[in-house]
Amino acid sequence: MSKKEIELFVPGRLCLFGEHSDWAGGHRRQNSDIEKGYVIVSPTNQGNYARVKKLDTPQFQFISKPLSESINMKMDLESLVKIAEGGGIFSYVAGVAQEIISSYDHFEGKGLLIENYKTDLPLKKGLSSSASICVLTAKAFNEVYGFKFTPKRIMELAYLGEIATPSRCGKMDQACAFDQPVLMTFDGDKMSVDKLEVGRELYFLIVDLKKGKDTKKILSDLNQGFPWPRNKLEENKHEYFKKNKKIVNDARERLKEGDAEFIGDLMNFSQYCFDKYLAIASPEELTAPVLHSVLSMEEIKSFIYGGKGVGSGGDGTAQLICKSKEDREKAKKILIEKRFECLDLDLKETKN
């Protein structure tokens, strides 16, 4: 590798607790009675690997070896905006690039090469694969041009870049800019990020339920009644986010203690509240029979402390917290035999 090249790795992200509270907390700009959004997000083991370097010509190049695709274009605002707004696999990187070059003027006839040589992060599984690419692009500019962006600023640039495309992600997705679990708080247009401590290593298993869900319908159904509830069903949605505040605060403390068993109990309770207060508002998508069959599976009960859904909910993905690394392998073997796909997630002990 040339001395001018820089190695980067950007993970995906998993929402451990607090799904949907990011957008709900945004409605506080109209109705302050809505609870703030509280979300605990962790980086994944899997992600995107890249080599990046400055070019001596005003070109923007992105090479995706996993997809066997590449783009090579002028690094000017008009060209990048056109690619971003057109959608497609390179819209995300173009969206971030146009946001950065429109905000900063450090380029002076120079360019950027990003060679994404490896990806082991699954697509469309609630692990923010698109956000990972956006953060990778922002980090590439940061490292090559020496901007000294904070992780929060990288998040902001990645978010603005992604919403410049036809995609409509939430700000939570860009938390993969951090290399440890974080607590994100959403209050109207304001967002804060706090790094979390982990008392001892914890072992999670991410399970692809192989069924699928309609995220757009889920979000459409759940947004009914915001910012103002009009009936009991919609009041229940608001009540869920009050429950979520306590769940997330408890989870924060138990992560600090490394208490896997209690975290498992919180995951079970979080799923119970999700089913009671939110799932009834979108029963076609959130009844989730496959998810609940996995969470109640007798064959794996002795290997896990608890589990819950991931992301918007439904029969997309499940997360389980396992009693040990060895127990995770045993649960994984059983689930794979039942034709599910599994990924490991390790929350490393915080080193002082």
CB atoms within 10 A of CB 219: 16
Read off the pLDDT of residues 272-322 as tens digits, 9 standing for 90 and up: 999 999 999 999 999 999 999 999 999 999 999 999 999 889 998 999 999
**Domains delineated in the chain:** 6-195 (3.30.230.10), 202-347 (3.30.70.890)
235: its two tokens: 């009041």
Distance CA 139, CA 146 (A): 10
Q: Which helix or strand (DSSP H or E) is residue 70 part of?
A: strand 69-74
Distance CA 284, CA 196 (A): 36
pTM, to two decimals: 0.90
What pLDDT is stored for residue 216 in this prediction?
84
- The alpha-carbon radius of gyration of the chain (Å, integer) is 21
What pLDDT is stored for residue 193 in this prediction?
94
> What one-character-per-residue DSSP string does 243-265 give?
HHHHHHHHHHHHHHHT-HHHHHH
90: its two tokens: 């390179």
With contact defined as beta carbons under 8 Å apart, do 75 and 101 qualify? Answer: yes
Read off the pLDDT of residues 68-95 as tens digits, 9 standing for 90 and up: 999 999 998 999 999 999 988 899 999 9
Distant-in-sequence, close-in-space partners of 300: CB < 8 Å, separation ≥ 6: 294, 320, 330, 331, 334, 335
> Which residue in the block uniquely carries the two structure tokens 């451990």?
16
What pLDDT is stored for residue 106 in this prediction?
78
The alpha carbon of 178 is separated from its chain's Cα centroid by a whole number of angstroms, namely 11
295: its two tokens: 């969470």
What pLDDT is stored for residue 103 in this prediction?
93
Distance CA 131, CA 127 (A): 9
Q: Tell me whether strands 111-119 and 59-64 are parallel, antiparallel or unpaired.
A: parallel
7: its two tokens: 């190695």
With contact defined as beta carbons under 8 Å apart, do 112 and 54 qualify? Answer: yes
Residues in the chain predicted with pLDDT less than 70, given as ranges, are 1-3, 168, 352
75: its two tokens: 């690094």
What pLDDT is stored for residue 2 in this prediction?
47
What pLDDT is stored for residue 125 in this prediction?
72
